[in-house]
Amino acid sequence: MLEFSVLILFPLFCTGVCYLLKSIRTQYIISMFVSSFHLIFSLMIFIGWYEPNLPFFFSTDSLSKLFLLVISNVYFWVVLVSFSYLRRPALAKSEEGKRYYFLLLNFYLFANTAAILSNHFGMYWVAAEATTLSVAPLIYFYRNEEALEAMWKYLFLVSVGIAFAFIGILFLILASKGTILEGHQLFFSEFVKKAAVLNPVWLKASFIFIFVGLSTKIGIAPMHSGDVDATSNAPSPIAALMSGSLRITALLGVLRIFQIVSPTSTHEFAKTILVIGGLISLFVAFIYMFKVNNYKRLLAYSSVEHLGIIALGIGIGGIAFIGAMYHVIYNSLNKMVLFFTAGNIHRKFKTREVSGVTSVLNILPLTGWMFLLSFFAISAIPPFGIFFSELMIFQGMLFSDKPWILFITMFLLLFIFINMGKTIFQMLYSKNENEEILLEKEKFEIIHFATIVILILLIAIAVISPEILRDNILNISKDFGIKL
């Protein structure tokens, strides 16, 4: 029960506490407390120092352990920088938003953890929808037109999408009709064990609906729009949260159904669908990169691109699957840095238009360098982690039965890199003609500290390559029936 209370009940409890407390500082302290506890616990569970035994619809396996650590980590950093973010002066309009900020964050943590630890599709669905609900008001944090529109679009699209995922779950029930699985109430663990008996027609339908439905949340094209709108208009910690953990939570649902599909005859079909989704995502990002004018949107599209790569990796299987798992970790870390630094840039320049941002490296040297480095990191330049994970995915692609995918991917990635680089470098280097920007020295804030630590983490995980992580990922791939 300890783990259950720390991971799930405690955040829920703190949601209530935050509602009662007026002082944002106290809320922050409590949230910090919750998040650090959560992180420590996730880490302990991950390392194996603590063997969790969860009640009701919850349980853990290698996959959820890994994802729990990822989201917990993202959440921790987001909460850490949130307070300094909220104290920024330019947020007069969003006093109301500040009041509910930590409350919603705590609720988000609760919902997210519940989703990840759930062992039941119904539970997963409820929790995943709850994450949408907790994030939607946070998107509207700025209280302006764009944020409102983004929130509406996100809320609506994701709700519809997730409703489709529910249909998919119902199809899964149908698939189990007349088999020994009937009446097992949609527990993953049961389904995975005896997946072979499932009716293939309904299984396919189920996979399609769940994948497409959750795609709205993951941001797989062509259902990426709501996600992109939301990520690009949310405050940067929230954007980081969405890119780094919310998408991952949704991805978990797809992985679950994929895991069920794995031992069946539908496997190849599911893989093909994932590959198609991944390629379309890459293509969408590729198109967008030719006409960028909003740098937060750029980052949101970069998320679409990378989730696309992950989907590709999962779809290709083999070593690419392992690469995709690594990519999940690295991408979530990397996106945090990108969004944090983008938030700093936004604060200084007060615009999201690329054309309005100039000479970041001179005006905000620290942020600028971090931004540059994280761009390198996201472009798979070593020694940052994404290099390694992408390498594995590429390798998997090349030796799959469809090596041409690699060439398409590389072509698209190359142009994404070129165009993204063009935009980002323009922001970083071009001469400053905006007189209003004050040239004061950038202060070292907690957000800088966070970005530096995360970047170091990004290198360290890749270079040190902890045994425990590798074993875990190998276990996951074993669960998915992947032969290496």
Partner 1 sequence: MVFIQSCSHSIIQLMIGNFSVLASLGYKLIKNIMQNVLSILFCLSLFYLSVTSRVKAYVTVLQFQGVLLTVLLVFPFIGHFSIYALILPATLFFVKVILIPKYIKKIILDLDIKRTIEPTIQQITFLLIIIFSMTIIFIISNVLSKSTDIETIPFASGFTAIAVGIFVIIYRKKLIVHVAGFLVLENGIFLFGTAVASELPMMIEIGVLLDVFVVVFLMGIAINKISSTLSGFDVTALGRLKD
Partner 2 sequence: MDLLFYALVVQIASIIVIASVRNNHKASAAAHLLLTAGLVLGLSSSFPALVFSNSSSLNFSSLLNPANIFRFDSLGLFFLNIIQLVAIPTTIYSHSYLRHYIDEGKSVTSNFIFFVLMIVSTQVVVIANHAILFLICWEVMSTTAYLGILFEKEKRDVQTGSFYYLAVSHVAVFLLYIFFFLLHQQTNSWLMSDFHNLQNTGSLFILLYTLGLTAFGIKSGFMPFHFWLPRAHPIAPTIFSAFLSGIIIKMGIYGIFRTYQFFNYAPEWLGWLVLGISLISAIFGVWYALAQHDIKRLLAYHSVENIGIIGIGIGVGFIGSAYNSLPIQILGFGGALLHTLNHAIFKTLLFIGSGVIYQNLGTRNIESMGGLVHRSRYFFILFLIGSIAISGLPPFNGFISEFIIFNGFFTTAKELKNYYPLLMIISAVGLAFVGGLAVACFTKINSIMFLGTERKEIKKFHISNYEYLSLSILAFFCVLIGVYPQPFIGIVNKVLNNGFVTANHSSELLNINWLFISIIFIALLAAIILIFFLKRLIQKKYGKRISAPWGCGYEGLNYRMQYTASSYADELNEIPKSILVYHKKVQSPKGIFPAKGSFESHSVDLIDSKILLPAFRSMSKLICRIKFLSYTDIRYYIAFILITITIYSVIAFLWN
CB of 442 to partner 2, least distance (A): 14
Q: What is the DSSP letter of 180?
A: T
Question: Counting contacts by CB under 8 A, is residue 221 touching partner 2?
Answer: yes
Nearest to 359 by CA among 435, 447, 301: 435
In the structure encoding, which two tokens stand for residue 165, read together? 């995922």
- Compute how many other C-beta atoms are within 10 angstroms of the C-beta atom of residue 44: 16
Residue 414, C-beta contacts closer than 8 angstroms, at least 6 positions apart: none
CB of 444 to partner 2, least distance (A): 15
Residue with tokens 């002066």: 89
In the structure encoding, which two tokens stand for residue 12, read together? 């829920």
Closer to partner 1 by Cβ: residue 198 or 462:
198
Crossing angle of helices 295-316 and 385-398, in 10° steps, is 40
Number of residues counted as binding partner 2 (CB under 8 A): 63
Closer to partner 1 by Cβ: residue 159 or 475:
159
Closer to partner 1 by Cβ: residue 203 or 377:
203
398 binding partner (options partner 2, partner 1, none; Cβ < 5 to 8 Å by kind): partner 2
Binder among 18, 74, 239, 361 for partner 2 (CB under 8 A): 361
Q: CA-to-CA distance for 186 and 126, rounded, in angstroms?
A: 14
In the structure encoding, which two tokens stand for residue 224, read together? 């990426």
Binder among 379, 400, 451, 472 for partner 2 (CB under 8 A): 379
Closer to partner 2 by Cβ: residue 4 or 429:
429
Closer to partner 2 by Cβ: residue 36 or 395:
395
Whether residue 235 is preceded by a cis peptide bond, meaning omega within 30 degrees of 0, is: no
CB of 291 to partner 1, least distance (A): 6
Q: CA-to-CA distance for 13 and 399, rounded, in angstroms?
A: 50
Radius of gyration of the chain (CA): 21
Nearest to 305 by CA among 322, 294, 289, 320: 289
271 binding partner (options partner 1, partner 2, none; Cβ < 5 to 8 Å by kind): none
Binder among 52, 97, 226, 315 for partner 2 (CB under 8 A): 226
Closer to partner 2 by Cβ: residue 56 or 425:
425
Binder among 22, 431, 441, 483 for partner 2 (CB under 8 A): 431
29 binding partner (options partner 1, partner 2, none; Cβ < 5 to 8 Å by kind): none
What stretch of H or E contains 305?
Answer: helix 295-316
Q: Where are the alpha helices (DSSP H) in 48-187?
A: 62-86, 95-117, 121-139, 145-176
Question: Counting contacts by CB under 8 A, is residue 408 touching partner 2?
Answer: no
CB of 174 to partner 2, least distance (A): 14
Closer to partner 1 by Cβ: residue 130 or 391:
130
| Contacts of partner 2 in 276-315 (CB under 8 A) | 276, 284, 286-288, 290-291
50 binding partner (options partner 2, partner 1, none; Cβ < 5 to 8 Å by kind): none
Q: CA-to-CA distance for 201 and 94, rounded, in angstroms?
A: 50
- Compute how many other C-beta atoms are within 10 angstroms of the C-beta atom of residue 365: 12
Nearest to 283 by CA among 264, 255, 262, 304: 304
Question: Counting contacts by CB under 8 A, is residue 225 touching partner 2?
Answer: yes
CB of 376 to partner 2, least distance (A): 6
Residue type, 445: E
Q: CA-to-CA distance for 458 and 375, rounded, in angstroms?
A: 13
Question: Counting contacts by CB under 8 A, is residue 383 touching partner 2?
Answer: yes
CA distances to 32, 34, 339 from 335, rounded to whole Å, are 21, 23, 6
Question: Counting contacts by CB under 8 A, is residue 376 touching partner 2?
Answer: yes
Q: CA-to-CA distance for 281 and 263, rounded, in angstroms?
A: 27
In the structure encoding, which two tokens stand for residue 319, read together? 């070593």
> What is the binding site for partner 1 (CB under 8 A)?
57, 120, 122-123, 125-126, 129-130, 132-133, 136-137, 140, 144-146, 148-153, 155-156, 159-160, 163, 166-167, 170, 173-174, 177-178, 182-183, 185-186, 199, 201-202, 229, 232-233, 288, 291, 297
Question: Counting contacts by CB under 8 A, is residue 421 touching partner 2?
Answer: yes
269 binding partner (options partner 1, partner 2, none; Cβ < 5 to 8 Å by kind): partner 2
Say if residues 215 and 277 touch (Cβ distance below 8 Å): yes
Q: Report the interface residues with partner 2, using CB under 8 A.
A: 152-153, 156-157, 160-161, 164, 204-205, 208-209, 211-213, 215-216, 221-223, 225-226, 269, 272-273, 276, 284, 286-288, 290-291, 359, 361-362, 369, 372, 376, 379, 381-383, 387-388, 391, 394-395, 398-399, 406, 410, 413-414, 417-419, 421-422, 425-426, 428-431
